[in-house]
Structures are given as structure tokens and as C-alpha cells.
């Protein structure tokens, strides 16, 4: 460099939109096939490595899948790189095992039926080749261990049938002395265990040794612990702590902290129940631990707010303590004047929140939008993504058929550059959230995911300060119809999906079918 001039690299632009391709499907329905209620998938979760995937259904079953394309690679890393292995292959999973996690119950004290439906699944740390996970229905959380067991098959015993007579007796009289099956002699006392006993030449004919013909491996799922009787209301969330020892469970009014090793005791860390239930104005809808800070968690409410809680400040982090000691930040977007209606609070309710991998951002899903929040800025979301704005004129109809209360989940990519969530007609949407990105892709849960591709407009931005912009991204859908002119089907909804932790791969549930895509 001459004269001390510095070369400044040009800022990298937003990544190009991904081209999504169909990978595989499990449980695909045939045309006209009726889906049983118990077979509908109600939870999806990748483990931290991305090598295992778990699904739960309304019948209380947990099904595990394992990745196969990495196991079949073979050779050294240099050989795989030379073959461009990672480019030529896409993630492939196979069915691993399934087990019945929950059964239907009846609470006789409250005359209440408790469904077996799996609400959430969370993977725990693996140990000694065994898989561990938490699953919950409305009332009970269970800790499962799934481990391979080797079973040896015995094909024969080394017994000559011509010489064996009865149970341990010898048909041949060539020996001058009879021996019993346990190696003793009949003329000796059973208390005489002297060391001068000698085995006859050729061994004991009546001693039976098994011959192993084959060895099989089976998977055994065992419930290690049951965490019950701690929630009066339906459990909507469970989340593992980064310390590997504790987890939280949340219902409408309380969040409890558990130790994985202790099933008969939990600590109530958040309680929003008012003294008089008539004063209740909001409920807890979702809760999640920070991915790296074991003392921090976030929970969302039906009023559209997110609270960030520091467990080091106080043992009880409810609203009263928070107001007194300012224990948590509250993230809530202010309403525009004159925009309030009967449906405002209903569609503002947050159905799901997820931390980004580094814990800097929180993604939230309400009925109409995805919002991305920076935990260092609680004045409003840094970006808003409109999922199905065409439904706004139909809110009255959606309220009448209860669709407005559907709880859609959301997820982030491992690199934090994209987010995804579901919609109706088995559609899901992928948005780019990098600065300047205009990516907004509509995909259908089918073997042809791009069949219902909808064009999008350039994102609109408005300044929030010197360096932070708020982005509002929307599509140009015609109200109630897709790109092919077909009316949207509100009975088919894609509520559950998960993003692979390290790759651009998405698993999503359409009724009882599990679809997987890669880019």
C-alpha cells in the first residue's frame, strides 16, 4: 500500500434466495385417503447435531428418524471433499423407532379428560450412545432414554441327542463313574467342595454350552422419569437449559423450573395469576431458555409482548416483582392510532417464540405476522414479515370457525439469515432476514414445493434510528386465492415445522405426513 492508503472491502450484499427442492416424505397420503385424528403430527424437533429428528402426534406416539447419508459416506474427509460429497448429496433420513409416550387419562377430581396428544418434544444431551428427550402432553412431562440393545440368538446347544437321556443323564456306560449335570459326583456330599476334583477326559458330556448363531440390534425406549402434578393449566412449552441439568415448563399462568434428576419437585419462577381471576388480562403462550446463557429465558403473552427474564435477580420473576425491581425487559410493539378492532388482541397473541442460535435475536409468530426482535432494543421489532395479509378481510369468518385461534410455529436457520413459518392450504413461507434481503418464498408441503409460488414486492423499510431499520415484507396475494387461482383451504394448515440446525433443510408436518426439503 502506498501513502498509508487503506483498502476497505465492499460490504457483502444479502445472500441470494434459496431454491428449495423436495427431499423425502414419510406417511404420504394417497388421494382420497381419510386421515385418522390420532395420526396427525403435533410436534417436530431436530436434535442439536441434526442427525436425529423426532415427531409427536395426537395419539401420544413419538417417532424418531435418523440421518443416513452421513453414515453411508465412508472414506476420509479429504476423499469426501474431493468427491464434492456435500454438494452432490442431500440430507436423507430413515425411520428409526417409535414408542407410546403418553396415554389418555382422566382427572377424577376435576372431571377432566387429559388427551394423549404430544404438545412439545425437546432433545437432551446424548450420553454413551443413548438418546434422551423430553415429551409432554397437557399435564405430564416424561424423560425418555432410547438405547440400542444387542440381542444374541441361540441356534443350537452342543448336545449329542444320541447320548443325552432325560435331564442331564448319560446314556453311555463307558465311564466307570457317573457325573451329574452340575459337575459333581453322586457319591460325594454336596458340602464337600474340595479342590482335588478333576474333570474327566474330554469334559463333562452333560454340560450344555450355547452356540450363538446371529446377533441383532434393537432399540429400546424407556421412560426414566415422569414430571407430573405441577400444572393446573395446559402445558404449552418445555425448554432445555444450556447447563444440561434443568428445564422449564410453562402453562397459561405459570412457568416452573425443574431439575432433570428430580421429578417430584419443581420451582415456580413465573406466576402471572391474579388474586382475582376476573382481573386476568393476559396468559403465557410460549417460553424458551436462552441458547447459551443459563440464567436467561424469554416468555410471550397473549397480548403480543415478550418478556426477557434474568433468574439471577430474583427467585420469582412474575409481573409484580418485575415492576418493583425491573427484572426483565418487555418487548411490545405499539398499536397505530385508530387501528384497534374487535380482533386486534386475538391476532396479536404470540403463538411461538424462538431464540436465534447466538441468542441476540428472538423470532415471534402471531396470527398474521412474523416479528424479529433484537434483545438490546425493546422499542419494537427490527423486522416484520407478513405471512398471510390476504386473510385480514376474512377475520370475522375465521373467528366463527375458530381458525383465528390456530397456533402456528416458527423457526430460524442455523446461520440466522432466514426464518420460516406455516400458513393455510399446507403452505409455508421462508423469508430472508439479512439486511437488504428481499427473499420471500411461498412453498407447498408436497412433492412439488414450488407449485404455488407467489411473487413478492420489494420490502418496505422505515428508519428507526441511525443504523437500525424496521422492515415490513409482504406478498402480493390476491385475497383468498393462490397463484393458480385456487381458493385457499383453511382446513389444511401447516402448524409445525423445524429447520435443520446446520444446513438449509426444513421438516414440516401436513396432517399425518412429514415432508422434508433442502436448498
Choose the weakest-confidence range: 212-226, 279-293, 378-392. Answer: 212-226
CB 225 within 8 A of CB 130: no
In sequence order, what are the beta bridge partners of 470? 462
- Could you tell me the pLDDT band of residue 450, with boundaries at 50, 70 and 90? confident
Rounded to an integer, the average pLDDT of 445-454 is 77
Give me the percent of the chain exceeding a pLDDT of 90. 57
Burial class (CB in 10 A: 0-12, 13-18, 19+), 241: buried
The predicted pLDDT at position 453 comes to 53
**Helices and strands of the chain, counted as H and E runs:** 5, 34
Domain ranges for the chain, please list them. 24-29+36-73+87-143+225-452+487-518
- Among the listed residues 286, 282, 303, the one whose alpha carbon sits nearest the alpha carbon of residue 120: 286
DSSP, collapsed to helix, strand or coil, labels residue 458 as coil
Average pLDDT of the chain is 80
Comparing 196 with 306, which gets the higher pLDDT?
Answer: 306
Q: Residue 451 has what DSSP assignment?
A: G
Pairing of strands 383-386, 469-473: parallel
The predicted pLDDT at position 172 comes to 43
DSSP, collapsed to helix, strand or coil, labels residue 206 as coil
User: What values do phi and psi take at 102, rounded to 5?
Assistant: -130, 150
DSSP, collapsed to helix, strand or coil, labels residue 295 as coil
Comparing 484 with 393, which gets the higher pLDDT?
Answer: 393
pLDDT in tens, 376-427: 888 889 999 999 999 999 999 999 999 999 999 999 999 999 999 999 999 9
The predicted pLDDT at position 511 comes to 93
Cell 375465521 sits on residue: 398
pLDDT in tens, 91-115: 899 999 999 999 999 888 888 899 9
Where are the strands (E) in 290-435, listed by range?
296-301, 306-310, 328-331, 352-355, 361-365, 369-374, 383-386, 410-412, 418-422, 427-432
Q: Give the count of beta carbons closer than 10 Å to the beta carbon of residue 480.
A: 13
CB 276 within 8 A of CB 301: no
Choose the weakest-confidence range: 232-236, 260-264, 285-289, 318-322. Answer: 318-322
The predicted pLDDT at position 218 comes to 81
- Could you tell me the pLDDT band of residue 202, with boundaries at 50, 70 and 90? low
The predicted pLDDT at position 31 comes to 75
Containing 438, the helix (H) or strand (E) segment is: none
pLDDT at 281 over 50: yes
Choose the weakest-confidence range: 392-396, 437-441, 476-480. Answer: 476-480
pLDDT in tens, 207-218: 666 777 667 778
Comparing 149 with 362, which gets the higher pLDDT?
Answer: 362
- Could you tell me the pLDDT band of residue 484, with boundaries at 50, 70 and 90? very low
Q: Residue 88 has what DSSP assignment?
A: H
Rounded to an integer, the average pLDDT of 23-50 is 91
CB 135 within 8 A of CB 62: yes
- CATH architecture assigned to 24-29+36-73+87-143+225-452+487-518: 7 Propeller (2.130)
In sequence order, what are the beta bridge partners of 507? 498, 516
pLDDT in tens, 303-346: 999 999 998 886 666 543 333 223 356 677 666 655 667 899 99
The predicted pLDDT at position 468 comes to 37
- Among the listed residues 56, 49, 195, the one whose alpha carbon sits nearest the alpha carbon of residue 505: 49
- Among the listed residues 373, 403, 370, 409, the one whose alpha carbon sits nearest the alpha carbon of residue 386: 370
Maximum separation of any 2 CA atoms in the chain, in Å: 110
Q: What is the DSSP string of 315-342?
A: S--SHHHHHHH--EEEE-PPPPTT---T
pLDDT at 141 over 70: yes
Choose the weakest-confidence range: 43-57, 215-229, 357-371. Answer: 215-229
| Alpha carbons 483 and 390: distance in angstroms, whole number | 13
Amino acid at each position: 500500500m502506498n501513502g498509508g492508503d487503506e483498502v476497505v472491502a465492499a460490504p457483502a450484499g444479502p445472500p441470494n434466495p434459496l431454491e428449495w427442492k423436495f427431499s423425502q416424505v414419510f406417511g404420504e397420503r394417497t388421494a382420497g385417503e381419510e386421515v385418522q385424528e390420532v395420526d396427525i403430527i403435533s410436534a417436530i424437533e431436530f436434535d442439536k447435531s441434526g442427525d436425529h429428528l423426532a415427531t409427536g402426534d395426537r395419539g401420544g406416539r413419538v417417532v424418531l428418524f435418523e440421518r443416513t447419508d452421513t453414515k453411508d459416506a465412508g472414506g476420509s474427509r479429504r476423499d469426501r471433499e474431493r468427491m464434492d460429497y456435500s454438494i452432490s448429496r442431500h440430507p436423507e433420513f430413515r425411520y428409526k423407532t417409535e414408542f407410546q409416550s403418553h396415554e389418555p387419562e382422566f382427572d377424577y377430581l376435576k372431571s377432566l379428560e387429559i388427551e394423549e396428544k404430544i404438545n412439545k418434544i425437546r432433545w437432551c444431551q446424548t450420553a454413551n450412545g443413548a438418546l434422551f428427550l423430553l415429551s409432554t402432553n397437557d399435564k405430564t412431562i416424561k424423560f425418555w432414554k432410547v438405547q440400542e440393545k444387542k440381542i444374541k440368538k441361540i441356534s443350537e446347544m452342543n448336545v449329542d441327542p444320541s447320548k443325552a437321556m432325560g435331564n442331564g443323564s448319560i446314556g453311555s456306560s463307558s465311564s466307570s463313574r457317573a457325573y451329574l449335570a452340575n459337575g459333581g459326583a453322586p457319591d460325594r456330599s454336596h458340602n464337600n467342595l474340595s479342590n482335588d476334583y478333576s474333570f474327566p477326559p474330554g469334559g463333562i458330556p452333560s454340560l450344555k454350552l450355547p452356540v450363538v448363531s446371529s446377533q441383532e440390534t434393537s432399540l429400546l425406549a424407556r421412560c426414566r422419569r415422569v414430571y407430573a402434578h405441577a400444572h393446573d393449566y395446559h402445558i404449552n412449552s418445555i425448554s432445555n437449559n444450556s447447563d444440561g441439568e434443568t428445564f422449564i415448563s410453562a402453562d397459561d399462568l405459570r412457568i416452573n423450573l425443574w431439575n432433570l434428576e428430580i421429578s417430584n419437585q419443581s420451582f415456580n419462577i413465573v406466576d402471572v395469576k391474579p388474586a382475582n381471576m376476573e382481573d386476568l388480562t393476559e396468559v403465557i403462550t410460549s417460553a424458551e431458555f436462552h441458547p447459551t446463557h443459563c440464567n436467561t429465558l424469554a416468555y410471550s403473552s397473549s397480548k403480543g409482548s415478550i418478556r426477557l427474564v434474568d433468574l439471577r435477580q430474583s427467585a420469582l420473576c412474575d409481573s409484580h416483582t418485575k415492576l418493583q425491581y425491573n427484572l426483565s425487559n418487555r418487548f411490545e410493539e405499539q398499536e397505530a392510532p385508530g387501528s384497534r378492532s374487535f380482533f386486534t388482541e386475538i391476532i396479536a397473541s404470540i403463538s411461538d417464540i424462538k431464540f436465534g442460535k447466538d441468542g441476540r435475536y428472538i423470532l415471534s409468530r402471531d396470527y398474521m405476522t412474523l416479528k424479529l426482535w433484537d434483545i438490546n432494543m425493546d422499542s419494537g421489532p427490527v423486522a416484520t414479515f407478513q405471512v398471510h395479509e390476504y386473510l385480514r378481510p376474512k377475520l370475522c369468518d375465521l373467528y366463527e370457525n375458530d381458525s383465528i385461534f390456530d397456533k402456528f410455529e416458527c423457526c430460524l436457520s442455523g446461520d440466522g439469515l432466514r426464518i420460516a413459518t406455516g400458513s393455510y392450504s399446507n403452505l409455508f413461507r421462508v423469508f430472508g432476514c439479512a439486511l437488504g434481503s428481499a427473499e420471500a418464498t411461498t412453498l407447498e408441503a408436497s412433492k412439488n414445493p414450488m407449485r404455488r409460488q407467489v411473487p413478492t414486492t420489494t420490502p418496505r423499510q422505515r428508519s428507526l434510528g441511525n443504523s437500525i431499520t424496521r422492515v415490513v415484507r409482504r406478498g402480493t396475494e390476491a385475497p383468498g386465492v393462490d397463484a393458480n387461482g385456487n381458493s385457499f383451504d383453511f382446513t389444511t394448515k401447516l402448524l409445525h415445522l423445524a429447520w435443520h440446525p446446520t444446513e438449509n433443510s426444513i421438516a414440516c408436518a401436513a396432517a399425518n405426513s412429514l415432508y422434508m426439503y433442502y436448498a
